[in-house]
Amino acid sequence: MSSELLAPLDLAFWHLESAAHPMHLGALAFFGSAEGDRSHGEVLDLLATRAAAIPRLRMHVRDVLLPVGGAAWWVAQDFDVTRHVRHVRLPAGDFTAAATGIAGELMERPLARGLPPWEMYLLTGEPGGPFAVLVKLHHALADGMRAVAIGAGIFDEIAGARGMRARRSGPVPASSWRSVPGQLIGFARDRIDDLGNAVGVGASVVRASRLDSRGMPALAAGSSGTRRLGTVALDLDDVRRVRKAVGGTANDVLLAIVAGALRRWTRERGDLLPTADPRALVPVSRRRPGSPAGSGNRLSAYLVDLPVSDPDPRSRLDAVRIAMNRNKAAGPMRGAGAVAVLADQLPPLAHRFGAPLAGGAARMLFDVLVTSVPLPRSALSLGGCPLLSIYPMAPLARGQSLAVALTTYDGQVHVGLVADGKAVPDLDRLARSVEDELAELLDMALTL
């Protein structure tokens, strides 16, 4: 039997989880009607067959002897895909609304710790009608890019290509007593080499931490453990028109849209605008192209103040662009946003016992997560049924109530909003604010 050690950041995500703060990523994908005579039952069988064929989805977490406090991925010998792939029939009515509602409820539930940490749900309405698939993957299993690579294995186009490729890399051998001396020397050398980087990043994190109350109270209203999901589809051409008119990147425009939407939402609720702007954590992948399938999370992040207090949309966009340019000049390995890099430098035992403290510290660094998830550019399908839209979902940090995830597919930017159900009961209003903010930016761009 062989195993693969959890990378330090994976181990951090594994131990950060609690019943009220599940650490899984998600995606809600909507498909067109079943092709020909294909039934929803056949789609369910196809989904289960393809999921079972993805090697990564057969792995579960077990503790290891070395490193002390560490854990590893092991192949589950009793793997049963039916424990992970389930069918939920929705009541008659608005299928999209019903699927979105049940997806929020399903995202509340932590994944079973003793099993491979993932689930898929086939959500169906009328026989032969459109359907949706909800995918849940633990953050320890994959970062955003790897989650896409794993989850995409259910699609016709990816499954066919995967069947023709042979894997060249295998798992890392499990720890044994004979290898203990060499491993101890290696671990010590690594800790010494990483000490300078850890101290530098740690100092940046401390400097950026906030002991005072700032930002938007609705984004730090505590955690009830409940989840609501909101979805928005934006026209990618509209985003590009704004970018072309004012400069910067499409991601700058999307961050400015989030800032403007938060401002609109706050004012519509009758809340006071913040005296200090909320801060967004914007993850950045450190994964190199062609990295092996077994690679763990490879993340850093930027911190960006969202100019919610600024009434001018052009000024908000300029502020975001300047802040992101400053972050990019410093690079993803420097600054307080590189807290994930710091996690890579800590020994496993620190993650095991320090996770409760680290989880509570997230709200001292940022108020909202805003992440972009890449998707293949080609059209995708499942059992011949075309993928119509797909909404990514990010986990909520402890003490926070909103996470925003974005992806681009078929000429649209799909925005997935995950919120604490009690702190943000009006998530639909925030979703409308996202649409309204893009419309205002587009009107501004057309006048330039």
Identify the helix (H) or strand (E) that includes residue 123.
strand 118-124
Q: Which residue has the higher pLDDT, 362 or 59?
A: 59
Sheet holding 279-285, edge to edge: 227-235, 412-420, 402-409, 368-372, 279-285, 299-305
Measure the CA–CA gap between 275 and 332, rounded to whole angstroms: 28
For 250, the token pair is 């499409």
Compute CA distances 359 → 57, 364, 412, 428, whole Å: 26, 10, 34, 28
Q: What is the pLDDT of residue 216?
A: 74
Residue 173 has pLDDT above 60, yes or no: no
Q: Which residue has the higher pLDDT, 178 or 126?
A: 126
CB atoms within 10 A of CB 30: 22
For 176, the token pair is 């044994």
Contact 49, 35 (CB under 8 A): no
The CA R_g of the chain, rounded to the nearest whole Å, is 22
Q: What is the pLDDT of residue 361?
A: 57
Q: What is the pLDDT of residue 373?
A: 87
Measure the CA–CA gap between 241 and 220, rounded to whole angstroms: 34
Q: What is the pLDDT of residue 375?
A: 85
Average pLDDT for 36-48? 85
Residue 102 has pLDDT above 80, yes or no: yes
Q: What is the pLDDT of residue 180?
A: 39
Residue 168: Cβ-neighbour burial (10 angstroms; 0-12, 13-18, 19+): exposed
Q: Which of 87-101, 132-146, 189-203, 374-388 has the highest mean pLDDT?
A: 87-101
Q: Which residues contact 176 (CB under 8 A, 6 or more apart)?
A: none
Cross-strand bridge partners of residue 122: 87, 133
Q: Which residues contact 70 (CB under 8 A, 6 or more apart)?
A: 5, 6, 11, 63, 64, 348
Q: Each residue of 339-361: pLDDT tens digit? A: 554 455 556 655 565 566 555 55
Q: What is the pLDDT of residue 362?
A: 60
Band (20; pLDDT cuts 50, 70, 90): confident
Contact 113, 61 (CB under 8 A): yes
Average pLDDT for 187-192? 42
Provide the strand spans (E) within 187-286: 227-235, 279-285
Band (364; pLDDT cuts 50, 70, 90): low
Sign of CA dihedral 352, 27, 341, 397: negative
Q: Mean pLDDT in the chain?
A: 81
Q: Each residue of 244-301: pLDDT tens digit? A: 999 999 999 999 999 999 999 999 998 888 888 998 988 876 555 455 544 555 557 7
